Amino acid sequence: MNELNRQKIFNLIGLATRARKIITGEELVLAAIRSGSAKLVILSDDASANTAGKFRDKCIHYRTPMHAFGSRYEIGHAIGKEARVVLAITDSGFAKKLSGLLKEQEEE
């Protein structure tokens, strides 16, 4: 894996956090997906199968892009909080840039 690319992704998540363009917490993210305000969902690689399935199904149904990336601790650290399993990006610009970086990361 490209370590520089991983760092860019975490830095961009941190930037989105400071711009108040993210939502964390399972229920809040599900509500954002349902309302259409979630432009991108990021799920930790170590999320339970049940949680992963729930978010995958919701994202497919509401046509919201979703990527699995990083551990719950790495995601939490990027947003300056404790461990986080899922977060939603609510800004189209951040979502587009992050999606591009995440796709590159998955292709490696």
Question: Which residue from 82, 54, 52, 92 is spatially nearest to 69, judged by alpha carbons?
Answer: 52
Question: pLDDT tier at 30 (50, 70, 90 boundaries)?
Answer: very high
Mean per-residue pLDDT, 1-28? 93
pLDDT above 70: residue 43 = yes
Q: What is the count of structural domains for the chain?
A: 1
* Residue spans of alpha helices (H) in 1-108: 3-18, 26-35, 49-61, 72-78, 92-107
What confidence category does residue 2 fall into, taking pLDDT thresholds of 50, 70 and 90? confident
Given this model, what pLDDT does residue 106 score?
A: 82
Range of the domain at 77: 3-107
CATH at residue 79: 3.30.1330.30
pLDDT tens digits along 70-104 = 999 999 999 999 999 999 999 999 999 999 999 98
Mean pLDDT of 35-41: 97
pTM of the predicted protein model: 0.94
